[in-house]
Amino acid sequence: MTIRSSSSRSDVTLIQKVNEAFTFLRWRLSESGGPELFDGLLKGLDGFRTTYEAVTGRPFAQAKVFEIGFGARPARMIALMSMGIDVRGIDLDRPMLELSLAQLASIFKTNGPERALKSAVRSVLFDRRDRSSMRAALQLRGFKMQIDRSRFLVGDAASFDFQGSQFDLIYSEDVFEHIPRAGLEKIVESMVRTLAPQGLAIVTPSIFTGITGGHIAEWYSHLVDKDIPRQSEPWEHLRKKRYPGNTYLNGLCRADYRALFSSHFDIVEERVIRPDQGRRWLTPQIRAELAQWSEDELFSNNVRFLLRHKS
């Protein structure tokens, strides 16, 4: 059975897909290897640990953890299970856990040819380096890399049967923006059922109204402040709309997520990850074109919501 992946769109031209792929490849090839490649990811997990223990008063090492949308390269889950954390996750895309014809055939069957091609290219060019870098980063912290295939569930989180499971921490990073609104309602309702009474959910969507919200490769977060050649303009997805990103986006703004979460949970905290990102590009002319959006929306980009059961 083929599951529709959100990682590509049929209405984006082949030329644009190729241009986006080259932008991505240039960025990845410019990265240096070594343990520092995963510093940001591991520091993010340290943040999960600190936040979970501060909010719940419980040890993170004993938490049952679930990730919604681990992605084709499930680095967070691999790092957590290597640290001995009881973690599971679900994603529409079958992960590429090793380079093999059997894995590629399975991805092709599940998610189609474009997803399989992307997985093959990334595996050939980057996976050996990336796994070596992650292994070294984990070893510096005293952990040995471990991968348990049974913990990676492939399916739609909006309709998956969790069979009464409960989790102490549910998290999701840069995923909710790729899920239709109706699906988000079902996922949040499922989170209410599966989050333990004293548990915590940490959800960080990419906000559509931010400068990175259109998922155009030239405006990825790590490129926003760089002076590089670009075809598109700042907030292209809200203005001229000539170059749609090659992925499904639901178009939700920060206020939409706030309303969705608050209807089911208490919002413990709502924090912008990179405040003011993109401000240098907000000229008076562009600000006038975007008059319908507040600066609170235009500079949201990634916003972290901490959620607990309603008191």
Please give the full DSSP string across 213-231, using - where no structure is assigned: TT--GGG-GGGTTS----S
Which tens digits make up the pLDDT trace of 69-106? Answer: 998 889 999 999 999 999 999 999 888 777 677 777 77
Mean pLDDT of all residues belonging to the chain: 88
Is residue 32 pLDDT above 70, yes or no?
no
**Any domain includes 108:** yes
**Any domain includes 214:** yes
Q: How many CB atoms lie within 10 A of CB 176?
A: 24
Going by pLDDT thresholds of 50, 70 and 90, the confidence category of residue 26 is: low
Element at 169 (helix H, strand E): strand 167-173
**Any domain includes 8:** no
Which DSSP symbol is given to 241? -
**Any domain includes 23:** yes
Ranked by mean pLDDT, the top range of 109-113, 132-136, 278-282 is: 278-282
DSSP-derived pairing of the beta strands 195-204 and 152-154: unpaired
246 burial (CB, 10 Å; 0-12 / 13-18 / 19+) is buried
**Any domain includes 2:** no
The pTM of the full predicted model, rounded to 2 decimals, is 0.87
Which tens digits make up the pLDDT trace of 193-239? Answer: 999 999 999 999 999 999 999 999 899 998 999 998 899 999 999 99
Give the domain range for residue 142: 14-309
Q: CA 237 to CA 215: how far, in whole Å?
A: 9
DSSP-derived pairing of the beta strands 86-91 and 303-309: unpaired
Radius of gyration of the chain (CA): 19
For 177-190, give one letter per residue: b (16+ CB within 10 A) or e. Answer: bbbeeebbebbbeb
Helix, strand or coil for residue 198?
strand
CATH number of domain containing 72: 3.40.50.150
**Any domain includes 112:** yes
**Any domain includes 35:** yes
Which tens digits make up the pLDDT trace of 41-54? Answer: 999 999 999 999 99
Total structural domains within the chain: 1
**Any domain includes 246:** yes
Supply 260's token pair. 């969705």
